[in-house]
Amino acid sequence: MVKKKNPVKRALLYILLIALTVITLTPLIWMVSSSLKLDSDVFSVPIKWIPSDPQWSNYTKVWEKIPLLTFTFNSVKLTVIITIIQVITSSFAAYGFAKCKFKGRDVLFMLYVATMAIPWQVYMLPQYSLMNSLHLVDTHIGYILMQSFNAFGVFLMRQAFISIPDELLEAARIDGLSEYGIYGKIVLPLSKASATTLIIFTFVTIWNDYMGPMIYFNTETNKTIQLGIKMFIGQYSTEYGLVMAVSVLALIPVLLIFLIGQKQFVQGIASSGIKG
C-alpha cells in the first residue's frame, strides 16, 4: 500500500520553498526595479518596487556612455569559444580516465582532481608571468588558453562515463569502431545531461568572470561586459541606475542558457553526483 503524505507537512514544505524562492529572487527583483529609477531613488526608503516614473532611457544610455556592443561581443566570443574547448578537453580526458586502462590512471586522476582545492589566487602571479613571457597578456588568445582546461569538468564527465557499461564499448570495438568513434558516437551522446551541465557551469563562470579580464585586458577593445559595468562606478560618484540597467542586460544570456538546458542540468547533477 502507498503511504499517504501528511497534508500539514506538505503544506509547510511548500510554504518553506516559497519563502526561500522569494528570498532568493528579491535581490534580482530589486535590481530590475532599480534599473528603471533615477540615481537618487535607487536607495530610497521605503523601497518603491514599482517606480512611479520608470526611466526606460537607462537602457539606451548604457549603449551611449560605453562601447557596450564591443564588450558584449567580446564576452560572447570568449564565453562560446572557451565553453566549446572545455567540453571537448574535459570529455576527452574523462574518457581516458574512465574507459582506458593504463598504469597509474587512478593516481593521476586523483592528483589532477586535487588541483580543484588550490585557490586561483595561489597560482595567479605565476600564470600571469607565464602569459607575459609568451607575450599573450592583453590578448584574447592568452585568456582562452588559460581557461581551456578544467579539472571539475573532467571529474563531472568521468562520473557520467563510468555509468556506461564496458560491455557496450567492447561490442563496439569488436564491430571495428575506433576509440574516437566510441567516444563520439556512443559515450558522448549517452552523457548528454552531464555535457549540458558542464556547458551551463562553464558558460556562467566565464561570462561572469571579472578578475581574469581585469588583470589580463588593458585595452578597451579587448574588455568584457563585466568590466564595462565597472565604468559606471567612479571614485566620487556612481551612476546606480545605469549600473543596474547594464547588469540586467548582462544577466539575460545567463538566464537564457539556463532555461534552455535546465532539464538536462538537473539530470546531469543527479546522475553525476551519485556515482563514485
For the whole model, what pTM was predicted? 0.85
Q: Where are the domains of the chain?
A: 57-273
For the chain, 276 residues long, give each residue's pLDDT as a single digit of tens. Answer: 445 667 888 888 999 999 999 999 999 999 999 999 988 888 888 888 888 888 899 999 999 888 999 999 999 999 999 999 999 999 999 998 988 888 888 899 999 888 888 888 888 888 999 999 999 999 999 999 999 988 999 998 998 899 888 888 889 888 888 888 888 888 888 888 888 889 999 999 999 999 999 999 999 999 999 999 888 887 557 888 899 999 999 999 988 888 887 776 666 555 554 443
Q: Which CATH class is domain 57-273?
A: mainly alpha
Q: What are phi and psi of 86, to 5 degrees?
A: -65, -40
Q: Report yes or no: 242 and 68 within 8 Å, Cβ to Cβ.
A: no
What is d(CA 69, CA 88) in angstroms, rounded to the nearest whole number? 29
What is d(CA 9, CA 253) in angstroms, rounded to the nearest whole number? 38
Instruction: Identify the CA nearest to 98 among candidates 171, 13, 161.
Output: 161
